[in-house]
Structures are given as C-alpha cells and as structure tokens.
Amino acid sequence: MKGAGGKNSWALFLLILAGIVLGGFIGMLAGDTGGLSWLNYGQTFGLSEPVVLNLGIVVITFGLTIKITVASIIGMVLAIIIYRFL
C-alpha cells in the first residue's frame, strides 16, 4: 500500500504509533519533575469499566482507554517530520 509520494503508508502508521508511545512514556517520566510536568498534561477517554459479553460458553471482555498528552502529540508530530525526510 503506497502513499501519494510512493512511500509506504504502513511505515508512516508505525512511525506515528512509535512517536505516540515514546512521547507518552517521556510525558510519564517528566510528570514528576517541576518544570516539565506540562508534558504529562492531557485527556483520558474511553470505557472506564470494561463491557463483558457472556455467551454461556465464551466470555468476552471489551475495554479501551486512550490517554492523549502533550508529549504524545509532540512525538506524533516528530514522527511525521521524520517520515517526510526519509
């Protein structure tokens, strides 16, 4: 699956995902420091309680929570910039 510029869009997806994860990790580490605590500022949304579907034989549990922080947005933007230069 190629993008408009002939680049692989899966590579972009993986780079953005890595940027979000690394940014969130850096934000979590910086949350305890005084001057960089703003990196961990963000919003959490999703299902606070998991949804359980009991089918008798199989029990399926659904749950999804997403936390967007300033650091994860910065990581996503840096991933897109890196992708453009590759």
- Contact at 8 Å (CB) between 12 and 80? yes
CB 39 within 8 A of CB 26: yes
SS3 state of residue 56: coil
**Contact in structure between 46 and 68 (CB atoms under 8 Å):** no
- Look at residue 16 in the predicted model and tell me its pLDDT: 93
Collapsing DSSP to helix, strand or coil, 76 comes out as: helix
pTM for the model stands at 0.76
- Write down the residue that tokens 């190629």 correspond to: 2
Q: How confident is the model at residue 3 (pLDDT cuts 50, 70, 90)?
A: low
Distance CA(40)–CA(23), nearest Å, equals 9
